[in-house]
Amino acid sequence: MYKSLLVLSTVACGVWGQAPDRAAGALGFSVQNIDTTADPCTDFYQYACGSWLKNNPIPSDQSSWGRFDQLQERNREVLRQILETASRPDAGRDADTRLIGDYYAACMDEKAVEAAGLKPLEEELGQIRGLRSKAQLAALVAGLQRAGVEAMFDFTSGQDFKDSTQVIAQIDQGGLGLPDRDYYLKQDAASAELRRKYVEHVARMFVLAGQTAAEAKASAATVMKIESALAQGSDDIVARRDPAKIYHKMSTREMEALGPRFSWTDYLRGSGAPVFASVNVASPGFLKALDGALRRFSLAEWKTYLTWHLVHSAAPLLPRAFVAENFDYFGKTLTGATELRPRWKRCADFTDEELGEALGKKFVERTFGAEGKARTLKMVDALEKALGQDLEKLPWMTAETRKQALVKLQAIANKIGYPDHWRDYSSITIRRDDLVGDTERADAFEFQRQLNKIGKPVDRQEWGMTPPTVNAYYDSSMNDINFPAGILQPPFFDNAMDDAVNFGGIGAVIGHELTHGFDDEGRQFDGQGNLRDWWTPADAKEFESRAACISAEYSKFEVAPGAMVNGRLTLGENTADNGGVRLAFMALMKSMEGKPQPGKIDGFTPQQRFFLAWGQAWCENVRPEMSRMLAQTDGHSPSRDRVNGVLGNMPEFRAAFACRVGQPMVHAPACRVW
């Protein structure tokens, strides 16, 4: 359940913008990106990125534009070539090529999508209309969830926090249309305005689905009422970072007692889950709130709620009017993009979401050789050694906890590039004329695949990200670090660059993921991935006071006028950034030991180039709407703070750029956990 990502993953949200074509040559590390008029000791981010920021305005179909987006854009170009070839209906195509090619062809056939209108949803809309009692809701919700509709709550499987060898059923809060429960609860003017516009959007979608303006207005109000009730019963995003607060393993009978008005037997039968004895109810309070909502709202109101979620979920796949209206709220209003992305980009992303390993296999064949894997593993080895040395020397940790920490470090598994075993999608029927049906069948395959794991041992080979993804993660139950092929490229990793630049790029990313195993969340799991306290109380206290320094430090950074970084929400990521850069710097210094000091390149020492590489990995322009949304929902700090926050804490940075005490880039106190 806990995957700590390097950056917020937006690929899963098909409505969010990506960028127009850019020259690949612009991707690498470059001193051309520097703003030479800025003082590195005043604002290092401005110094490292200033020129880049000026020369790379946000494209109209984007809500932000940074180095990750640039690289993702290049990967998407590769996917486009693969998909355009694969979509030609040649008889000689292998099974994977046929699957991704036909899905992409169905998605690109806009004419067929227009002609079909709402027909692909007719059966489900009819099922919702035909409900005769609230008792029938459960079986229907199971069917909708199987088809990818996020209604009422979330149901899937996951590793047991306290026995990581086993997979158990997981029920969690869900069923909202807005990004987080706080969107429903916050009373400030900006939040109220976003709610007002959301209700208008929901109403317009109901009109598109055939209701009169008056009916649609009433329907939208009903949706807001039910979602607000679910939001009130949801746990807040900061509390959910605490593993103990989302671990409530119980029998199915105990689960049923939390929500007796919902026919769980019908639901579980309809979901396709195997029979199971115990389940983790992540948020018991939410199930109680759902039960209250089932009592409070009428059958007619629930039908309206389910109709909304069905249409909302399918909107990106429906005719132009639905796509445009969906973009108008979730693209424009929430994130500030002004133009919808070209269709092929959306279709490439959908294919990646639905059939990611079939597409990823082809991506890897084209882009990632055995050499790339070997180089990355060498780097990982250097970073793990650095963390080992760091743990050995850490002044605040006692021998007992230190020993346990080293055991955990030794147990971390490294997954590089792509999975050893590819997922078999051959049971999914994909038709060239049925985009909605194809997507629902692919969603049902994934839903079932997750549920099939219940009661079985964990598959440690599995990946939680597809190979073309420009991101990375640490999984605390697996105790593994994962680097998809998509990120192992410039500007993060570049064969043409010196070690200093690669250690400041991918080296720090590797260090970041390793440190997640020891951040405020990850430290609560042991080397086997079990939630178990292996800290002496004294060491835990030392850790907490150091983490509190980071939390207080980042809480002082301003995201947008009046909106501050949430230091508690971003604590894990900030800890990982600080640890990651420090470890990568240690590893770079180690690699230079006993060798003649390398000369300057482009006028910069290796130390300076290391810090510039970290800075430039985060060059990014962000729209104010997007900044506000991220401040509320993203566990990562804004890019500027990810750079300046870390470097301001490092004496090594101060030495490299000869900064003086009292300058803004020399923080007091300088926080350090790892």
Q: Which residues are catalytic?
A: 513, 577
Sheet holding 473-475, edge to edge: 3-5, 473-475, 480-484, 413-417
Supply 224's token pair: 């807001």
Angle between helices 435-452 and 95-108 (to 10 degrees): 130
Angle between helices 137-146 and 435-452 (to 10 degrees): 100
Residue 487 touching Zn ion (CB under 5 A): no
- Interacting stretch for Zn ion, rule CB under 5 A, among 13-21, 416-424, 430-438, 567-575? 567-575
User: Least separation, in Å, of the C-beta of 31 and Zn ion?
Assistant: 28
- Interacting stretch for Zn ion, rule CB under 5 A, among 4-12, 538-546, 560-568, 603-611? 4-12
- Interacting stretch for Zn ion, rule CB under 5 A, among 1-9, 138-146, 455-463, 486-494? 1-9
Q: Using CB under 5 A, pick the residue from 576, 588, 622, 673 that binds Zn ion.
A: 576
Nearer to Zn ion, 93 or 568 (CB): 568
Cα–chain-centroid distance for residue 508?
A: 19
**What torsion do the CA atoms of 154, 159, 163, 165 make, to the nearest 10 degrees?**
150
CA distance 360 to 366: 10
CA distance 44 to 80: 37
Number of residues that bind Zn ion (CB under 5 A): 4
Distance (Å) of CA 286 to CA 154, 236, 382: 11, 11, 45
CA distance 290 to 308: 17
- Interacting stretch for Zn ion, rule CB under 5 A, among 34-42, 73-81, 501-509, 568-576? 568-576
Provide the 10 A C-beta neighbour count for residue 188: 9
- Interacting stretch for Zn ion, rule CB under 5 A, among 3-11, 175-183, 216-224, 384-392? 3-11
Please report, as residue ranges, which positions from 109 to 168 form the binding site for Zn ion (by CB under 5 A): none
Residue 376 touching Zn ion (CB under 5 A): no
Residue 485 touching Zn ion (CB under 5 A): no
User: Least separation, in Å, of the C-beta of 551 and Zn ion?
Assistant: 16
Residue with tokens 């870390």: 646
Residue 575 touching Zn ion (CB under 5 A): no
Residues 397-436 as x/- pattern, contact with Zn ion by CB under 5 A: ----------------------------------------
Tell me which amino acid residue 647 is. Answer: L
244 in Cβ contact with 531 (< 8 Å): yes
| Nearest alpha-carbon partner for 156 in 168, 139, 174, 140 | 168
Q: Which residues contact 416 (CB under 8 A, 6 or more apart)?
A: 373, 376, 377, 380, 483, 488
Nearer to Zn ion, 145 or 476 (CB): 476
User: Least separation, in Å, of the C-beta of 482 and Zn ion?
Assistant: 11
Nearer to Zn ion, 4 or 644 (CB): 4
Residues 57-76 as x/- pattern, contact with Zn ion by CB under 5 A: --------------------
User: Least separation, in Å, of the C-beta of 576 and Zn ion?
Assistant: 5
Distance (Å) of CA 584 to CA 6, 388, 610, 612: 15, 12, 9, 13
Residue 4 touching Zn ion (CB under 5 A): yes
Residue 479 touching Zn ion (CB under 5 A): no
Residue 49 touching Zn ion (CB under 5 A): no
- Interacting stretch for Zn ion, rule CB under 5 A, among 175-183, 377-385, 429-437, 566-574? 566-574
Beta-ladder partners of 437? none
Nearer to Zn ion, 5 or 108 (CB): 5
State which residue has the least CB distance to Zn ion.
4
User: Least separation, in Å, of the C-beta of 279 and Zn ion?
Assistant: 28
CA distance 282 to 262: 17
User: Least separation, in Å, of the C-beta of 509 and Zn ion?
Assistant: 9
User: Least separation, in Å, of the C-beta of 513 and Zn ion?
Assistant: 7
Nearer to Zn ion, 58 or 386 (CB): 386
User: Least separation, in Å, of the C-beta of 516 and Zn ion?
Assistant: 6
User: Least separation, in Å, of the C-beta of 9 and Zn ion?
Assistant: 11
Residue 481 touching Zn ion (CB under 5 A): no
Nearer to Zn ion, 446 or 513 (CB): 513
Tell me which amino acid residue 640 is. Answer: R
Tell me which amino acid residue 445 is. Answer: F
Nearer to Zn ion, 4 or 489 (CB): 4
3-state SS of 407-470? HHHHHCEEEEECCCCCCCCCCCCCCCCCHHHHHHHHHHHHHHHHHHCCCCECCCCCCCCCCCCC
Q: Which residues in this chain contact Zn ion in the complex, by CB under 5 A?
A: 4, 6, 573, 576
